[in-house]
Structure 1
Amino acid sequence: MKKITVLFGNYGSGKTELSLNFALALAEKSRSVALVDLDIVNPYFRSSEHAEMLEGRGIRVIAPVFANTAVDVPSLPPDVYAAFGYEYAVFDCGGDPVGAAALGGLKQRFDAMRDDVEALFVVNTRRPFQDSVENLEESLRRIEGRARLNADGLALNTNLGPESTGDELAEGYELAQELAVRTGGPLRCVSGTSEARAAFEARCPGCAAERIELRIYTRPDWLA
């Protein structure tokens, strides 16, 4: 995994759960990990129970509060820039205009170290308006434009939350492949619970993308 991992996607894509798992996995091999929450619409890391859990694992949680989220490009507080001083940093960026624009405020930093940055668009084809390759590409291009950062690849995370049967991940694979062809960004990883991954392996044994087993840390009725 590169020094900087950026995960962005629409509301309900599961990017926050994926960010959480990425950071925890990194913390197992490094004592220098930061997790930056730029998800303005769904400010998950304002929940103290999870921040305490992360910090207990040695992860620095940076959850900036923006003074005025109505502005086109919100100013970033200094603690966000502190993330670049860690060995690894994971950025959880929402698909909302303010969150994506906040990420865009880091363009110069990302450009200066582009080889050490990997930006992934999280795909959940079971969310509203994400059930076609055209809609997925429109969402991706919109977020890229606001964030001023192009996706290096895709992270497939199709699920229905607590109602998932495991088949959803395999069903989303075809659309993710189509999106990869259209955008030129390869499918980097497939993430899901152990049950979802088992169903995926049975139906899509030829997939070459990295497999990531998710542990669910959020309450059952929550969608990132």
Structure 2
Amino acid sequence: MVLDLLLIAVAITLDPLPIMAFVLVLSSYKGVWRGLVFILAWLACLVAVIALVLLFTGGQPPPPRSAPSTAALAAKLAIGIGLVLYGEYRRRKRGAPHEAAEGQGRAKHASDPHGGSGRMSPWSAAALAVFLQPWGLVAAAATVVVRADLSHVATYAALFGFCILATASLLAAELYTVFAPEAAGARLKRLRTWLQEHEEPAIIVGSLVMGLWLTGNSIYQLTS
């Protein structure tokens, strides 16, 4: 369970779209406070999903080969296959000019929903965090949390570590802005530009790698 959660958390925290949007939030009016709202909403989504899964399982993993256990593995397999298909779809469409232009437009809209006005309400920052949450990966994490056993202290540490690691890139940008606002402003702007230029290959590679891992791991667990 720990390795699965670790890999999914890394994939979540390296997702380029939320990072680009968060840099925009930080550069807006009272950006540090708006960024804090974004992070809290982001964390709230992760905690809510984990809490719902644990409420369903009662904090006890279902027995191997039971219907709930098999259903969770089947769901993880479906998500893995879906990510592979999505990554392959993006790879095939990458060379199409209209697709590239459309993708850039979506990225700009998602990371700049106010048209670069420089102002964003706290509610907008929170909604943006929810909207840009990589729900496919969060759903994959939920299928892993089904196996969590709350009778062990290590499980709490693993779940806490997952939430922190999945938010690490946002926390790093927030703290950097707090302690070095001038340097952070320039460097985060360059980071956002770089991410915009490399967004498509990052999404393709991330989707394919994560999808293949989830698919292979699920098949192994279903057949072993």
- Give the TM-score normalised by structure 1: 0.23
- Bigger CA radius of gyration: 2
Higher RCO (C-alpha under 8 Å, 6+ residues apart): 2
Q: Name whichever structure is richer in strand by fraction.
A: 1
Q: Name whichever structure is richer in helix by fraction.
A: 2
